[in-house]
Amino acid sequence: MGKQTNIRLDEEVKAAAEDRAKRRGLSLQGYVADLIEADVNQSRAAFMAGAASFLAAYTDVFDAEVGEDQYPGLPDAPAETAPRDAA
């Protein structure tokens, strides 16, 4: 269950939001929550795309500095996995 948040809207904005919520089959609370979630997710997606672009642009620099797949404490070769028992 989420936390409760109070907001203030002027009457015209509230009426328009209630109308849009009703057309979507949502309560005003659900409509506002969906708008906020969509905005947060859009910002998160933009950040992740930027991070991926940055990493792709500088992969050669990181590999030259650290070496590809060379991290302290990790084994040199991938561990072999034993077959799972069919239960």
Cα–Cα distance, 16 to 39 (Å, whole number):
19
Higher per-residue pLDDT: 1 or 10: 10
- Residue 83: per-residue pLDDT: 62
- Decide if pLDDT at 25 tops 90: yes
pTM of the predicted protein model? 0.51
- Residue 4: per-residue pLDDT: 87
Give the mean model confidence (pLDDT) for residues 38-66. Answer: 84
- Decide if pLDDT at 17 tops 60: yes
- Decide if pLDDT at 38 tops 70: yes
